[in-house]
Structure 1
Amino acid sequence: MSTVFCERLRSARHERWMTQAEFARRTGINRSMLNKYEHGIQKPAMDNLIAMARTLDCSLDWLCGLED
């Protein structure tokens, strides 16, 4: 997993003052799975990527490190 994705996911969540628990509730993704995404242990499925990008109000390209 790209470290850019992990860093952007974590920093975007922090910028919005969301805990992992709050982010999990808003996205419908299990909190322990979010922790794995943020630490690069697990790769998210496309539906989870979309949920995260929508919740963070960012593009998938930005979240995945394809654009600045």
Structure 2
Amino acid sequence: MTLPRITQFGPRLKRARLEKGWGVRRLAELTGVDFRTIYLYEDEARSPNIEAAVRLAQALDCSLDWLCGLDEPAAVQPLRCKAEIRPIGCEVDA
């Protein structure tokens, strides 16, 4: 079974990098993320951990939400276990 792509990280990472006029090696120098790994992220062969994603977003001067494709209205985003999320300590009296 193939899971649907839930982020737009790879294409948006490449787009933001190219808009800056940077090569992969330049982005790697600025973030400490190996340039080969950045290629894997852009090709969606690998996903970054949160620390790497934040460093990339900061270097590219974009939000992590945008980089991950979470800037779209909630109605457009794919549904993922939102119904199961319950705030801790914020129970509502029925």
- Which has the higher relative contact order, 1 or 2, with Cα contacts under 8 A spaced 6 or more apart? 1
Larger Rg: 2
Please tell me whether the aligned partners of residues 7 and 68 of structure 2 are also in contact (alpha carbons under 8 angstroms). no
TM-score, normalising length: structure 1: 0.93
5+ long unaligned stretches in structure 1: none
Pairs aligned (count): 68
- Correspondence 1:44 to 2:48: yes
Higher helix share: 1
Please tell me whether the aligned partners of residues 27 and 55 of structure 1 are also in contact (alpha carbons under 8 angstroms). yes
Aligned equivalents of 1:26, 1:2: Cα separation in 2? 27
Change (3 A) 1:2 1:38: farther
Deviations 1:33-55 (A, max 9, x none): 00000000011010000000000
**AA of the residue aligned to 2:61:** D
**AA of the residue aligned to 2:32:** G
Name the Cα RMSD after superposition: 1.3
User: What is the aligned partner in structure 2 of residue 58 from structure 1?
Assistant: 62
**Match of residue 7, structure 1, among 11, 15, 34:** 11
